[in-house]
Chain A
Amino acid sequence: MSLFGKFDLGRTNRSVLSAWWWTVDRWTLAAVLGLAMLGVVLSLAASPAVASKIGLSSFHFVYRQAIFLAPALVVLLGVSMLSVRQVRRLAILGFAGVYVLMVATLVVGPEIKGATRWLSMAGFSLQPSEFIKPLLVILLAWMFSEAAKKTGVPGRSIALGLYGLVAVVLVQQPDFGQLTLITIVFAAIFFLAGLSWFWIAGMAGLVIAGGYSAYRMVPHVASRVDRFLDPASGDTYQIERALEAFRAGGLFGRGPGEGVVKRVLPDAHTDFIFAVAAEEYGVIAGLLILGLFGFIVIRTLLRVQEEHDLFVQLAASGLIVLIGVQSLINIAVNVNLLPAKGMTLPFISYGGSSLIAVALALGMLLALTRRRAGGTLHHGTYTKRAYA
């Protein structure tokens, strides 16, 4: 016990805030805040065109994005102050609550563009599936770590069950983007939790089979893949416009407000905001965004590699895989490396649910990656000295 006191004393007093400040990963925090800021700046570029197109005031989306930023930052910072145990409790309670909402979308959700993914509440539409992702990650990590600890809890079965529960609703909505994402994250956590290569091969087979059946049975999935593989086979309008944007923007961009592709590009403020940013601010800005995501992902993975607690390792890895894969897929679609997929760019794309859910995920990530005494091997020097 004396160790804890000694460790803390070297830094500052014992208030929650200062304890948080000295333990949180400040570099990642800075990168995250940078992304949030960029999100508001870029919504200034992309949103007015979309807003005026659908008859709203020019700054409708900008204001809403800015309004959502405040609760998002509160969530981010607040959650990042939680302890590991509190994060887990939050996940349990949150998952239960959000899952109910998700099921509710199937029953009472309004149909928007052929899917029932949203709930209308007090003038805002809420997309519960955005929130279910990070919460599911925590529960999966917990179950897999329990399984590894051999505490008698059938962790893997429960994890698979939780995944199945969410997957069923996502298929019903339908939302194949989110389904792809949670499947990748599920596989990643399973993989990190020590899945044997035999099972890995089995799961890969399952994913390929699932993808193929989606291709065969769901028309719009098929058409998107076909159009990617063979652009002549159909409408590649969005991708064409997006590529046009990159070319027009060049390295340094047309300049703020000078973009034109945003006027003809559907979803300019959500799925294709990256292309809009690149047209106005240049590929340099695109590289900055990409670099921030890369920095957060790689830095976090390097940190959790040192992690000594399996649950923390799995949960943090799962969250960062979630954020990393989502951003990679979104940007890859923008630059025509992947077929069109309705996936938002975390923190940058417009969307209140997405913004707050990402804040929740990164808040939990920051909470989990906060330095705890003995939490990581990296800081073992102190303990070594203490025990020596």
Chain B
Amino acid sequence: MRSVGTLVVVLVLLALIGPMLAPYDPTQINIPHRLNPPSLEWLLGTDALGRDILSRLLHGARWSLGLAFLISVIGLCIGTVAGLVAAQGGKLTDWLMMRVTDTFLAFPDLVAAVVIAGVLGAGTGSLIFALTVTGWMRYARVARGIGLSLQNRGYVVQAKLAGLSPLVIARWHYLPSLLPSLAVVWTGMFARAILGISALGFLGFGVQPPMPEWGTMLLDARIHMRSTPLQMIWPGLAVVICVLAINLTGDALRDALAEQKDQKGTA
């Protein structure tokens, strides 16, 4: 758990200060030095336009991790609100809300994201929209489920009888119990967002060149697979390391939560 936590801290730091560590401008085109192998001057080599791959990777961390963070947090907010509205509203509200969630769950996430981002036109805005729209439902399901189970708890009933507004009850009575479970869902969605951003980038529907994003870097590298195969390794490796670290954090979080629940149950 601790080692995984350290890894995540390192990744966050990399996304924050990585661009400062980059030895070159990631968009600086330098044709005479195109497709250089790794050397002391360019630690990971240069791409087809002579740009330094290490610098692009470091700057790319901000795009891939930063956007994924943004997308997963927006989804968290929308989903939690939707779930709590369903849990607190009447039967009809709940039914309608759940059918709306089901409708968005009627497509595999990535397929829907590809269609939305592709149709709206490539760009960061439609990328964020596409991945948020296809990602909020899981939070809503979890928030609703826990919300419903809390409905008849003494303190919630009492708060209702005391005439507190649903908003206050949601904030002070539901949210604290929701947060641990939502955190587990969030790690999963964060990892999915990283995969989604790079997948859309790879298809050409995501972050647009010359911005260094790991998926688009992979798309560029693919053409030169025969001459400089190493170029294709780095961006993919970056995605795998990040997703793995976040998934392992999520697993550890879930285990810790389950343990806590067990202790409460036996105490």
Q: Do A and B bind each other?
A: no
A residues lining the B interface (CB < 8 Å): none
